[in-house]
A and B are shown apart, each in its own frame.
Chain A
Amino acid sequence: MSTADTVDPDRNEPVDHDTVPPARTGLLVLAGVLLALPVIALMWVSSYSRDEPRLGGFPFFIWYQFLWVFLTSALTYTAYRLVLVARPHRPMDDLGAGREWAADHGTASDVSRGERA
């Protein structure tokens, strides 16, 4: 993700597309944690391989895993919203793209333009 810094959104120069588009690393890590939770929970079989407590006749082993269907869906959707915010799409039609990107991200481009000036 460190390569994000090398992107120059200046309107006069085309974006180098052989770079990773800039992202907010913290949000990506958070999304990664949300996605890892279901995998860890379900691979940890000893935490749920028991009969009690039953729920409506269903052994814990069964209903707990059904519960994770819904939790995983919610966690994955949250991760989806997070990555959309974390890494906005950087269009790839070069010059125009750079301008559009800069317009959407006023602060970042202002800073870089300021440095140039």
Chain B
Amino acid sequence: MSDINGVALFVLVVLFAAVTGMGFWASRWRRPTSMESLDEWGLGGRSFGTWITWFLLGGDLYTAYTFIAVPAAMWAAGSVSGFFAVPYTIVLYPIIFIFMGRMWSVSHRHGYVTTADFVRGRFGSRGLSLAVAVTGFLATMPYIALQLVGIQAVLEVVGLGGGDSVLAKDLPLFIAFALLAAYTYSGGLRAPAVIAFVKDTLIYLVIIVAIIYLPTKFGGWTHIFDAAQTKMAKPNPVDGKPTGVFIPGATQYWAYATLGLGSALALFMYPHSITASLSASTRNTVRRNAAILPAYSFVLGLLALLGWVAIAAGTKPIGADGKPNAQLVIPQLFEDAFPSWFAGVAFAAIAIGALVPAAIMSIAAANTFTRNIYKEWLKPDATVEQEARVSKLASLVVKLFALVFVLLLDKQNAINFQLLGGIWILQTFPTIVLGLYTRWMHRWALLAGWAVGMAYGTYEAWNVANPRAGINHFGGSLANMPVIGQLGYIALTAFVINLAVAVVLTLVLRAVKVPDGDDETIRGDYFADSGDPRVEKVKQPLHQEAPSI
């Protein structure tokens, strides 16, 4: 492991440098008259057409961590932990098709940049808006950190990061992130949009080559599936139960289905998904994309199967510290099975794959901070220029925080928080998505439902032990579901409880006639398209609005 794979490293560095150049050039791509507003810096001028949006959303949603973690889960624990990603990313698109058109339209009319902006306008509730903003922010931070884990995995296999000194160990990661921070600062959302072309092309190339070439090398698909079945059936030395799941049995149906559905409902509640969606130029761009984005799901499914290919190939993912680390299984498989130069291309695909989501996530988190915390609570009379400046700085701080998080804390912390993030973010679904359709739900009922869902989900996740990994808390995302009595995704259980609380309390609050907040939207706003005028912002209480663009 300590040997540096020179050719692979060279290819990796060249591709990385090329992408960095593109990142800096991006601020001049489709150049706006001014970058000094969140519409330009944070949403790329809301100008992206179908294909740019396709690359951007694909590059955004299918992250480097996904590419590392899904096959790693397949390799270590089988289909319930890994292959659920396929139904997840299939049912995702019909679901977002339904509500994302409305989300885009109302945001276009009112200049919303974040979901919390919409909640503020729809429910007239600063508290509910803050809850949505903070949840989005907290859920995104560990996700950014995990993109670094993706880069680290590649660097580790290529032979870097094994040194003893802290500086030598983490310097490559530090440089990569400093460059990312610099061009995100200057180019905003245009930077990841440009890089996404390279990222997605490389990923498609690598996975298609891998899925055609590797099975011929390791005895064909029948042999690969047999090897996976044998490994999954083998009893684990710790608890004597089977190692993993080849095909879900009757007791795992709920787990498989709820993981898929819960993750699908949650994904477009994340700020980075919304940012990429709102940057689309028309209402129909996003809906058309719902029909063509499944192409990425297909690739993700193939990638998941590479985890089982690695079983047949006998891949031994050993980290720089000499311990086995499932997260390294895909980079290790590539290094073992491909010629060095192509392994370099594959590593570049993963490393660049980390940059696109990391950039968009940091922009989205920065926008959320700026709009829903800075402007809403700290400086209500901020101008659009000030907003853009604060957002740029916040994007730097967010990335720095992610870097510190990964370098100083145990990687497991990032994974735990990301698991929690998935549970948390789903608790904003009732407010955001039901809010797109109806104001029947009372703002305080939604807030209470959110709080109960957050508390329940966090407690349940904390309670999950994983004896095999030797951890007592945050050992996984499955827990026993009340009433049904089977294992299910905690996020979805919390979501159902959240919804029940919100409905019951709405009935109570309506009965005692607690007033609603003001709704600044009208029904037609939810069907607006690109030619329709923006709503001129009227002066709101506590607000002195910036001159609209």
Where the two chains meet, the residues of A that have a C-beta atom closer than 8 Å to any C-beta of B are 3, 15, 17-21, 32, 35-36, 38-39, 42-46, 49-51, 54, 56-59, 61-62, 65-66, 68-70, 72-73, 75-77, 79-80, 83-84, 87, 89-93
In the complex, identify which listed stretch (B58-66, B167-175, B527-535) lies at the interface while the others stay far away.
B527-535
Cβ contact within 8 Å between B90 and A69 = yes
Chain A residue at minimum C-beta to C-beta distance from B96: A76
Cβ contact within 8 Å between A76 and B291 = yes
Q: A54 — which chain B residues lie within 8 A by C-beta?
A: 222
In the complex where A35-B98, A49-B247 touch, is A56 in contact with B221 (Cβ < 8 A)? yes
Cβ contact within 8 Å between B524 and A17 = yes
Question: Interface size for chain B: under 10, 10 to 19, 20 to 34, or 35 or more residues?
Answer: 35 or more
Residue from A3, A45, A80, A90 within 8 A of B97 (CB atoms): A80
Chain B residue at minimum C-beta to C-beta distance from A16: B524
- Give the CA-CA distance A56 to B221 in the complex, in Å: 8
- Give the CA-CA distance A19 to B527 in the complex, in Å: 10
Residue from B91, B220, B305 within 8 A of A62 (CB atoms): B305
- Give the CA-CA distance A59 to B95 in the complex, in Å: 27
- Give the CA-CA distance A91 to B528 in the complex, in Å: 7
* Interface flag for B401 (CB, 8 Å): no
- Give the CA-CA distance A90 to B525 in the complex, in Å: 11
* Interface flag for B24 (CB, 8 Å): no
- Among A42, A46, A58, find the residue whose CB has the most chain B CB atoms closer than 10 A: A42
- B422–chain A nearest beta-carbon distance, Å: 18
- B487–chain A nearest beta-carbon distance, Å: 13
Interface contacts beyond A46-B250, A57-B225: sample of 8 additional A-B pairs, CB < 8 Å, sorted by A: A17-B524, A39-B95, A45-B248, A45-B252, A49-B248, A49-B256, A51-B246, A62-B225
* Interface flag for B113 (CB, 8 Å): no
Cβ contact within 8 Å between B524 and A18 = yes
Q: B253 — which chain A residues lie within 8 A by C-beta?
A: 45-46, 49
In the complex, identify which listed stretch (B79-87, B355-363, B382-390) lies at the interface while the others stay far away.
B79-87
Show 9 residue pairs from A and B whose CB-CB distance is below 8 angstroms, ordered by the A residue: A17-B523, A21-B524, A51-B247, A57-B224, A73-B93, A73-B295, A87-B527, A89-B283, A89-B529
Chain A residue at minimum C-beta to C-beta distance from B531: A91
- B89–chain A nearest beta-carbon distance, Å: 8
Cβ contact within 8 Å between A42 and B523 = no
- Give the CA-CA distance A54 to B223 in the complex, in Å: 13
- Give the CA-CA distance A42 to B222 in the complex, in Å: 24
Q: B294 — which chain A residues lie within 8 A by C-beta?
A: 69-70, 72-73, 76
- A46–chain B nearest beta-carbon distance, Å: 6
* Interface flag for B292 (CB, 8 Å): yes
Cβ contact within 8 Å between B291 and A69 = no
Q: A91 — which chain B residues lie within 8 A by C-beta?
A: 529, 531-532
* Interface flag for B261 (CB, 8 Å): yes
Q: A66 — which chain B residues lie within 8 A by C-beta?
A: 86, 298, 301
Chain A residue at minimum C-beta to C-beta distance from B264: A39
Cβ contact within 8 Å between A90 and B527 = yes
Residue from A42, A56, A62 within 8 A of B90 (CB atoms): A42
Residue from A65, A68, A93 within 8 A of B83 (CB atoms): A65
Q: B222 — which chain A residues lie within 8 A by C-beta?
A: 54, 57
- Give the CA-CA distance A75 to B94 in the complex, in Å: 9
Q: Mark B282-296, 1 if CB is under 8 A from A, else 0.
A: 011001101110110
In the complex where A50-B247, A76-B290 touch, is A90 in contact with B90 (Cβ < 8 A)? no
* Interface flag for B448 (CB, 8 Å): no
- Give the CA-CA distance A77 to B287 in the complex, in Å: 9
Cβ contact within 8 Å between B287 and A68 = no
* Interface flag for B413 (CB, 8 Å): no
Cβ contact within 8 Å between B290 and A58 = no
Cβ contact within 8 Å between B90 and A38 = yes
Q: A59 — which chain B residues lie within 8 A by C-beta?
A: 225, 247
Q: A84 — which chain B residues lie within 8 A by C-beta?
A: 284
- Give the CA-CA distance A12 to B45 in the complex, in Å: 36
Residue from B221, B292, B301 within 8 A of A73 (CB atoms): B292
Cβ contact within 8 Å between A3 and B523 = yes
Cβ contact within 8 Å between B301 and A80 = no
- B107–chain A nearest beta-carbon distance, Å: 15
Residue from B109, B247, B527 within 8 A of A20 (CB atoms): B527
Within 8 A of A (CB), among B525-549: 525-529, 531-533
* Interface flag for B485 (CB, 8 Å): no
Within 8 A of A (CB), among B246-277: 246-250, 252-253, 256-257, 260-261
In the complex where A45-B253, A76-B291 touch, is A58 in contact with B221 (Cβ < 8 A)? yes
Q: A15 — which chain B residues lie within 8 A by C-beta?
A: 524
Q: B528 — which chain A residues lie within 8 A by C-beta?
A: 92
- Among B91, B248, B252, find the residue whose CB has the most chain A CB atoms closer than 10 A: B91
Cβ contact within 8 Å between B90 and A65 = yes
- A52–chain B nearest beta-carbon distance, Å: 10
* Interface flag for B297 (CB, 8 Å): yes
Cβ contact within 8 Å between A21 and B527 = yes
Cβ contact within 8 Å between A80 and B287 = yes
- A36–chain B nearest beta-carbon distance, Å: 7
Cβ contact within 8 Å between A57 and B220 = yes
Q: B252 — which chain A residues lie within 8 A by C-beta?
A: 45
Cβ contact within 8 Å between B523 and A19 = yes
Q: A73 — which chain B residues lie within 8 A by C-beta?
A: 93, 291-292, 294-295
- A49–chain B nearest beta-carbon distance, Å: 5
Within 8 A of A (CB), among B129-148: none
- Give the CA-CA distance A43 to B295 in the complex, in Å: 20
* Interface flag for B522 (CB, 8 Å): yes
Cβ contact within 8 Å between B97 and A35 = yes
Q: A3 — which chain B residues lie within 8 A by C-beta?
A: 523
Within 8 A of A (CB), among B87-120: 87, 90-91, 93-95, 97-98, 109
Cβ contact within 8 Å between A69 and B301 = yes
Q: A76 — which chain B residues lie within 8 A by C-beta?
A: 93-94, 97, 290-291, 294
Cβ contact within 8 Å between A92 and B247 = no
Q: A80 — which chain B residues lie within 8 A by C-beta?
A: 97, 284, 287-288, 290-291
Chain B residue at minimum C-beta to C-beta distance from A35: B94
Residue from B86, B225, B261 within 8 A of A58 (CB atoms): B225
